[in-house]
Amino acid sequence: MASNVTFDVRFSTWREDAACLGVVEDVSFFPDPEDLSAIAQAKAICASCPVASECLTWAIETNQSEGIWGGHTPKERRSIRRRWIEEIERAS
């Protein structure tokens, strides 16, 4: 049965509260992996973000392979993802 309720995703997502939203500074959240300064700049913004945890979870669950998400690099997220999978396997 179809619902007549309209659901606007734009107003229900954690992204609306992200510290990176509307950042006008010259900050790249998809820096070259060798550019440690650019990575540090992106991570500094993430450090003050009220939804960094949600961002990180989304990036891991959707297997984002590039960029800084939730204050973590792709390599850091792969490590976290491995630990999550190991914990799930141990629990089952």
Considering its fold, how many domains does the chain have in total? Answer: 1
pTM (predicted TM-score): 0.80
Question: CA angle, 69 as apex, 59 and 62 as ends, to 5°?
Answer: 10
Query: Rounded to whole angstroms, how far apart are CA atoms 47 and 4?
Result: 40
| Domain assignment of residue 6, yes or no | no
| Domain assignment of residue 8, yes or no | no
- Two tokens at 57? 């979870």
Query: Rounded to whole angstroms, how far apart are CA atoms 42 and 12?
Result: 24
In the chain, % of residues over pLDDT 70: 87
- Two tokens at 87? 């914990």
- Which residue has better confidence, 72 or 11? 72
| Domain assignment of residue 31, yes or no | yes
| Domain assignment of residue 81, yes or no | yes
Query: Rounded to whole angstroms, how far apart are CA atoms 31 and 78?
Result: 17
- Domain span at residue 77 reads 13-91
pLDDT in tens, 73-89: 999 999 999 999 999 99
- Please give the DSSP secondary-structure letter assigned to residue 69: B
Phi and psi dihedrals of 17, rounded to 5?
Answer: -105, 5
